[in-house]
Amino acid sequence: MRWIISTEKDIAVDSNQMRARREYIQRVSGVEVSPWIKVNGPVAKEYFCCMSNDGIDGTSITAHIGDVYNLCSLREICSCKFVVANTCTLRRMLGKEILYRMMSINPEVELFFAKQELSLSSNGLFWQSTTLINVGEFGFRTSKSERLLYRNRDKGLMEAIKKSFNRVSPVILLGD
């Protein structure tokens, strides 16, 4: 499995947190994980990437939604069986929009989004977000879904992902 992390300072805070994140991936996947390398992404951005040698054909992305949107348009990302987006959705239907774009390349791909939490913005509005908090538990800031993934790791990585992240359905339902 491929693990991609934004190089933005609010996500990849420092080398200690990146080291802790890699150790977390090893514990969650239960296999050896390659060192982080910097890779070029779309729109002239760089990302950190590592691979877990688990035979799972998927990609996990921890980044802001704009980066997730751009990365999920890449054939290398869309061609795998699933993508886990550890990010905020910000607006309704955005997950479906990303999934539809990915399915135009790979009709079988699945998309999972981090569980959203209700947050209060600086101007007093409530919105759904994936807040990275709680440095103490793992040594880096984690989302609710990352904490759930760790708790469910004994079920196997794919089952833990299904229990810890929300699958984006391609079907549009009333209320979506």
Domain boundaries, the chain: 2-167
Q: What pLDDT does 123 receive?
A: 80
Which of 2, 11, 5 lies closest to 34 in space, CA to CA?
2
Q: Output 13 or 35, whichever has higher pLDDT.
A: 35
pLDDT tens readout for residues 70-109: 999 999 999 999 999 998 766 778 899 999 999 999 999 9
Whether the per-residue pLDDT at 53 is higher than 80: the answer is yes
Residue 114 · residue 141 · CB < 8 Å: no
Whether the per-residue pLDDT at 62 is higher than 90: the answer is yes
Whether the per-residue pLDDT at 26 is higher than 80: the answer is yes
> Mean pLDDT for the chain?
89
- Compute the C-alpha angle 82/84/87, nearest 5°: 150
Q: What pLDDT does 139 receive?
A: 87
Q: What pLDDT does 5 receive?
A: 95
Q: What pLDDT does 22 receive?
A: 97
Q: Output 101 or 173, whichever has higher pLDDT.
A: 101
Q: What pLDDT does 136 receive?
A: 65
> Over pLDDT 70: what percentage of the chain?
87
Residue 158 · residue 57 · CB < 8 Å: no
User: 40 to each of 29, 45, 74, 162, how far by Cα in Å?
Assistant: 25, 6, 12, 29
Contacts with 41 (C-beta within 8 Å, 6 or more apart), sequence order: 47, 67, 70, 71, 74
Q: Output 126 or 115, whichever has higher pLDDT.
A: 115
Q: What pLDDT does 135 receive?
A: 61
